[in-house]
Amino acid sequence: MPSLSLRINLDPDGRVGPGKIELLEQIAAFGSISAAARGMEMSYKHAWDLVEDMNRVFGKPLVAAQTGGRKGGGAQLTAVGLAVVSRFRAIERAASAAAAAHMEALQAEIDAG
């Protein structure tokens, strides 16, 4: 069955899509940018750059990070970060529902050969 992938262009240089949203969800789950990066098989620097890009696009932090030390650092989503994840997933569900009949029609075309 064909699947739908959603990417939202927020400004000429800023987008949010499934990868960035998954990163935010992993940060929320693990409480750490580093652990989220490892779980997604990306470097810490790449994960940090993605977070910084999202912070820039939204004009406020989506992730609140604390520097490591003896007790270690950590990270959590801000209220804005939680809202962005929630809204993206809601838009994704709505788009999937709206496209369902068309996706089935595409699959029928594939099956018909």
- CATH class given for the domain over 17-87: mainly alpha
Q: Which residues does 69 contact at the CB level (< 8 Å), separation at least 6? A: none
Q: Report the DSSP beta bridge partners of residue 77.
A: 63
Which amino acid is present at 65?
Answer: A
pLDDT for position 71? 66
Q: Report which of 63, 62, 20 is spatially closest to residue 40, judged by C-alpha positions.
A: 20
Distance CA 73, CA 34 (A): 10
pLDDT for position 66? 84
Q: Report the DSSP beta bridge partners of residue 65.
A: 75
pLDDT for position 21? 99
Find where tokens 């998954």 sit.
Answer: 22
Report in angstroms the alpha-carbon separations of 83 from 10, 57, 111.
15, 15, 39
> pTM here?
0.89
Task: Give me the DSSP letters along 29-66.
Answer: HHS-HHHHHHHTT--HHHHHHHHHHHHHHHTS-SEEEE
pLDDT (tens digit, 0 to 9) for every residue of the chain, 113 residues total? 899 999 999 989 899 999 999 999 999 999 999 999 999 999 999 999 999 999 999 999 999 988 766 666 799 999 999 999 999 999 999 999 999 999 999 999 999 98
pLDDT for position 1? 85
Find where tokens 């970060």 sit.
Answer: 81
